[in-house]
Every structure is written in structure tokens, then in C-alpha cells.
Amino acid sequence: MKNKLILTLFGFTLCASAVADDIAALESEMKQKAIDVISQMTVEEKISQLMNYTPGVERLGIKPYDWWSEALHGVARNGRATVFPQPIGLGASFDPEMVQRMADAIASEGRAKFNVAQSLGNYSIYAGLTYWSPNVNIFRDPRWGRGMETFGEDPYLSGIVGGAFVKGLQGDHPFYLKAAACAKHYAVHSGPEKDRHYFDVIPTKKDLYETYLPAFKMLVRDAKVEAIMGAYNRVFGESASGSPFLLNDILRCDWGFEGHVVSDCGAVTDIFTEHKIAGSHAEAAAISIKSGLNLECGGSFHHLKDALAQQLVTEEDLDKALYPLMMTRLKLGILTEDDKSPYSDIPTSVIASDEHAAIAREAAQKSMVLLKNDNALPINKEIKNMYVIGPHATDVFSMMGNYFGVSNRYSTYLQGIADKVSDGTSINYKLGFLTYQPSINSMDWALGEARSAEVCVVFMGISGALEGEEGDAIASPHRGDKEDIRLPEHQMDFLRKVTHNNRNKVVTVVTGGSPIDMKEITELSDAVVMAWYPGQEGGYALGDLLFGDVNFSGRLPVTFPLSVEALPAFDDYTMQGRTYKYMNDNIMFPFGYGLTYCGVAYSDAKILNPKNKGKKQVQVQVTLTNNGDKAVDEVAQLYLSAPGAGVSTPISSLVNFKRISLAPGESKTVDFTIEPDQLKMYTEDGSPKLNKGEYTVTVSGAAPGKRSEELNVASSSVKFRI
């Protein structure tokens, strides 16, 4: 009997079987159209369609198109758009549902902007619908300047949040794409920036399959990401943008990827000029095409004509590379004039709309992390006198991160604070210090006034001027990376002076996209907030949190170490001694850590199917209780420690998490599952293995360990055997 589930497709009400038949017919039609279009192209036209800027083919009805567009946390580099929090903050939210709504909003704005651009004949870079986001590289070292683009250090968190981003961006139609997402930078890529064009990474197979590949695998298999971007560096001696092992054996054969692969910009040229793998541009282009690359960001593919003449590639190789590209454009409905898409009529009213601003504010609220609170927060709105100090309190750039759009409605932190207090409250603001250099004037009136206020809010930190991609961070002497994680000494010196003999409360808000040395900051301050780069609504979001209209719920998506000196060398890709999974000490704040205005207790963790033998889901149950007088969203995190923990397997691994809303005094029973594959650990040769012995399940407010115990992180644990 046929399934009679009723669905709607293009305005027609159909049963599920009819929809499936209709989609299958549509897909078959489009596949044939892709083949037909390719068959009508000349060799020169085929080559021209394999680079990011593709000229039009007028006789076939194909318009010009540039594949390079960005949407890391909003439509980027393309004019007015809603600017959401930087991805490191989205990782801190631990909220995939919210991230999916955010990405859907980004796609809506992108579609609306694309329609206008097409009507203007604007076919330039950044004006398309193929967005080279998200970045799901592992933030393995806090010195990496681009770590702020990622969702953090954990593969599971990156895969879940990154997958939600992909699903939101691409839409839920069974064939058409709202926009095309691209998972980057595949693979084993996280600095140093200055070495990325010639560096050869040779990870252990265990680290490769345990750490560097899982997020990409989740985006391919679960989220059906349309594109993958190959990295600049080599992996096992092969360019990541020209590696049969990565692009064919793993990506297409093992994971079943059917979309297209694009190189990072200039990566094909690097195969010849930097990696010295090829003897010419033509050979470099041939290596990439033969390895499974479909699209080059750059111009080395112009040499494919020479590669054909030298018989390094065949025209069939070009056709094979072109096919997924034509399919992507057909899924977007933008290959030829007669293409249709259910997303083609999105109005311009969605661009930078109030609705999207509300999502941006929610995302910023959920991203900020409260690291310390010694009865300084929340601030009473009826406070008589407060002082705000620091350049980032009024600096919009310190809220942007990188790969950002342009908003017409930024809210600075100073605005967010001023918006909350009583009209009778006195607020004073002074710059106080400069971000990256000491003050020149020996006289500074700010200090004395700051000490006299009931509450002084000090804004410290860094911005995209100091951390980011190699050519963007113009204040960085290390091409966007950082040598250490300490704030500039003159910033710290100012905080020391403000807090010296100050009997009033000092709240320190730190901006940045990576771990900061927080030891002295927390010692000097009554409260400390990590604000990241929260986007256009960051000021209002911070005001909501500081004054208690919204409770803090953000959690660290990266471990904050005590110092980088105790970490392995930056260019060492071995995971031992890195991230919460492999670090026993040198931890200031653990992964997953964050305070709220309430105490939430964890109790009665239990395994509901204790006879599990590793072939079924493990069902876990725990009770959460809000012991405070405010509503709270608690991020309950499920960690698994396997036999050999800390020796042959990770100390612990995040395998599930949930945001749980609790009213004051409320208790809830929460259920989790652990999938059978999550019980398997990787051997040294990269093979998954189910170990026999005792497993420990911990439901906790942060990664379990000695430092979490010192910080009194609530948790409840239970053991079972396989």
C-alpha cells in the first residue's frame, strides 16, 4: 500500500509517493540537461567554466557567473546584510537549531541580493549563491588566527553546528538549493598562516580519522553539503587540492560525496610554485583535475589547454570535472535563462530585516560566556553611577570578526549599556587606553573617575586587526597568527591601575576570537565576560546579559590554556597535549565551561539499557535541577571515556549535548543517546575498534577533569561495560 502522507510541492498537494516520483523525474531531467549542456561546449568553453570566474556562453543561454561568494556569519563582502556572531561564538552557543534558523536567514538575504544583482547585470565576485562557508577545521592551537572562523576544537560540536548551518543555508527542498554551502578547508588545516602554501602535514592515521576528518564526514553524510574546498597545504606529500587519497578515496568513495570540490584560492598554482610537486602550471592543473578537483579559484586552469596538448588530461576528464558544477547551478536554478527555482521570488524586504536582527541578537546572547562572577552581575538598572572604559566599548570593528557584511544598524557595547539603565543613572565613558599601543599622553583622567563609580565596565581584547587570515590582520607581525595569548601589556597595566585599591565592582569584558590568557584578568576583576565578535546586535545582547534581562548560557567551544609555552609546537599536528580530549593540565578554563546566574545540579545519571554490547544505542538519563531564582538555559554535555582513556583513547569525548530550559526551582529528566559508532575508538592505523572493558559516561557542565572539579562544575557519572 502506498504511503499517503500529504505534502506540498510548488503549490500542489500530493501524496509522498507522488512527490518522490516527481522529484526523481526532475532530477533525471536535470542530470540529462547537465550532460547536454557540456556536450555542446567547445574545449575552450569547458576550460573557461572550471575557474571561479566563468564567462557567459551566450549561444547556450548561460550567463557569466563567479563562484566565489562568502557567508561565514552573514552575506559577506557584498554590501548591506545582517551581521551575525562570528562562528566561534556560534560554537559557544551549543545551539544547532538557532544556527540553522540563522543560516536560513542568510540564504534568504543572499537570494534577494542575487536577484537584484542579476537585474543590474552584476556578475562579479561575491554576488553569487555559492557560499564558501562553513569552516569546520579543528581549532587545535590557540595561536591560529583563523580559529575564530571555526566552531571550536571539538569534531562532534563542529559537525553538529556546522551541519545545522549547511541545512539552513541550503534549504529543505529535495532537489533545489536555496544557496550552496561549502565545507572548508579540507583537510588537516589550521596554521601557521605563513606556512600554509608549502607546509606538508603528516598526521598519524589515528589523529586524521579521530580529529581532522569527522566534521567533514558529518557535513557530507548527514547535512549533504554541496561543495568541499581543498586546503592549501600538503597532506602526506600531496596537495590537499590535488590529492587522490583525500578527494577520491575518502571523500567520494568512502563517504559518497556527489557535489563539487573547489580549490582554495591559488592552491593549484601552489602545487607548482610552492610545493614543487609539478614541473609546470599545466602539470599542476592536470594533477588537480585527475585527483578529483572540479573548480579552481585562481587561473592555473587556463593551462589545461597545454595539459591537453601534452596528453596529461583528456577532454573526458574535463567533462567529468564539469558535471557536478553544472548540477550545482541547476540545483540553484541559475544555469540558463529557463531554469526555475522555488527560491527565486524572495523579496528584498528580508535584507537586514527586523526579524533577522532579532535572530542576530538571540545568537549574540547565546554566544557570550560568563567566566567569573563574584556578586558583580547582574547590574541593577537603578544604579546611581557607572563608568565604561576601553576603545572596544565604541568600536564597531571589534564586533565584526572577519568575512563580514555591512550592517546599517550596529549596536556598540556602550549603546547596549546605556539602553538598559535608568534615566537617573550617571554613565561616563572614556577611551582610557589604545588597543595596540601604549598611550602617548602621560596624563589620563580616566583612572580616577573609573575608581569612583559603583561599577566600572572595562572593555579589553583584540580584533580582526591582530588575528585573522594572512593578509587581513594588518596589525599582526605573524601574518594573522599570534605568538602568545596574552593581551598587550599596556592593556593589562591599565586594568591593574583601575583595580588597585578599588573597593567598587570591576566587570571586564574581553573581545576576541580565540583563547585569551585570563589568569590575571580573573584575579583582578569581579566579573569576566568573553564576548567574542558578536556581530551587529552585540551591544544590545551584552546589555541584556549584564543587567539580567537574559541569563548567560554560552559555553567555551575551546579550551583556554594557562599559557602557550606548555603546548606542543604550533606546526606540530599531533593531537597529544592539545584540546580537552588530550590535555591533562595547563587548563585555565575547560572546554564547555560557562557560568549562569543560577546553579544547576546534575544527579541520578543512569544507563537505561545496561546490557548493551556495543551494537545498539546507549540510552542515558540524568536529572537537572535549577537551584536559582532565574530561568536558565543549561547546556548539558554528555562525555564518554573509553577503556584506555588518556593513553590509547581520548581522555573523554563529547558525544551529545542539549540546551535545557529550566524555570526557577524546576527539575527535568533529560534523555541522551550514544550511537554505536561513537563507542568505537581509532587505532594507530586509523581503524575504528570497539574496545572491551569499562566505559564512563559523564553528563556535565564542562569537559570532565581535574580543572572542572576545581571550578566546581556540576556533573553526574555512570559506568557500563562492554
- 521: domain CATH number is 3.40.50.1700
Q: Copy the grid coordinates of residue 277.
A: 610537486
pLDDT at 6: 38
Amino acid at 89: G
pLDDT at 503: 86
Positions in the chain short of pLDDT 70: 1-18
Q: Is residue 337 part of a domain?
A: no
Q: Copy the grid coordinates of residue 253.
A: 568513495
Q: Is residue 102 part of a domain?
A: no
Q: How far is CA 405 from the centre of its chain?
A: 16
Domain boundary among 589, 614, 632: 589
Q: CA separation (Å) from 131 to 72, 188, 357, 705?
A: 8, 21, 21, 39
Q: Copy the grid coordinates of residue 175.
A: 532537489
Q: Is residue 511 part of a domain?
A: yes
386-437 tens-digit pLDDT: 999 999 999 999 999 999 999 999 999 999 999 999 999 999 999 999 999 9
Q: Copy the grid coordinates of residue 98.
A: 538557532
Q: How far is CA 407 from the centre of its chain?
A: 20
Q: Is residue 23 part of a domain?
A: no
Determine contact, residues 227/261, Cβ cutoff 8 Å: yes
Considering the domain architecture, whether residues 611 and 635 belong to the same structural domain is answered as yes
pLDDT at 15: 58
pLDDT at 14: 46
Q: Kindly report the number of other CB atoms within 10 A of residue 599's CB atom.
A: 14
Considering the domain architecture, whether residues 573 and 610 belong to the same structural domain is answered as no
Q: Is residue 580 part of a domain?
A: yes
Q: What is the DSSP letter of 360?
A: H
Considering the domain architecture, whether residues 483 and 620 belong to the same structural domain is answered as no
Considering the domain architecture, whether residues 427 and 565 belong to the same structural domain is answered as yes
Considering the domain architecture, whether residues 579 and 688 belong to the same structural domain is answered as no
Q: What is the DSSP letter of 127?
A: -
**How many folded domains does the chain comprise?**
2
pLDDT at 16: 60
Considering the domain architecture, whether residues 553 and 685 belong to the same structural domain is answered as no
Helix (H) or strand (E) holding 519: helix 519-524
Considering the domain architecture, whether residues 489 and 560 belong to the same structural domain is answered as yes
Considering the domain architecture, whether residues 460 and 540 belong to the same structural domain is answered as yes
Residue matched to cell numbers 536529572: 623
As a whole number of angstroms, the distance between CA 675 and CA 508 comes to 41
Considering the domain architecture, whether residues 439 and 496 belong to the same structural domain is answered as yes
pLDDT at 452: 86
Considering the domain architecture, whether residues 423 and 449 belong to the same structural domain is answered as yes
Domain boundary among 589, 621, 642: 589
Helix axes 155-170, 214-221, angle to 10 degrees: 30
Helix axes 96-119, 155-170, angle to 10 degrees: 40
pLDDT at 610: 80
Considering the domain architecture, whether residues 608 and 574 belong to the same structural domain is answered as no
Helix axes 538-546, 354-367, angle to 10 degrees: 50
249: helix, strand or coil:
helix
pTM of the predicted structure, to 2 decimals: 0.96
Q: Is residue 436 part of a domain?
A: yes
Q: Copy the grid coordinates of residue 520.
A: 590575571
Domain containing 636: what range?
600-721
pLDDT at 538: 98
Q: Is residue 192 part of a domain?
A: no
Q: Is residue 51 part of a domain?
A: no
Q: Kindly report the number of other CB atoms within 10 A of residue 554's CB atom.
A: 31
Determine contact, residues 232/185, Cβ cutoff 8 Å: yes
Could you give phi then psi for residue 642, rounded to 5 degrees? -100, 165
- 665: domain CATH number is 2.60.40.10
Number of H helices, E strands in the chain: 21, 27
Considering the domain architecture, whether residues 485 and 610 belong to the same structural domain is answered as no
Domain boundary among 589, 616, 641: 589
pLDDT at 21: 86
